[in-house]
Amino acid sequence: MPLLLSSVSRIHDVASAAEMRGFLLRTRESQSRPYRFKIHDLLAALIAAALVTLGVLL
């Protein structure tokens, strides 16, 4: 019984958070604007990949 109550509580929390962020059950879409990929994103990805590669080599 405690596991069931905990699960229902968690589901309620997640549903509330999703609703506050614009996800509605009837549309299943976010109301936020689409994100455009920018050059800063590419640079961050390249730096992250270089750091991971460096970490593996060392």
Binned average pLDDT, 10 residues per bin, the chain of 58 residues:
83 85 65 81 95 93
Supply the pLDDT for residue 25.
64
Supply the pLDDT for residue 48.
95
Q: d(Cα 11, Cα 18) in Å, to the nearest integer?
A: 11
Q: What is the pTM of this model?
A: 0.42
Supply the pLDDT for residue 53.
95
A 10 A CB-CB count for 43 gives 10
Supply the pLDDT for residue 26.
62
Supply the pLDDT for residue 21.
81
* Eight-class DSSP state of 37: P
Alpha helices in 1-38 (DSSP H): 2-20
A 10 A CB-CB count for 23 gives 15
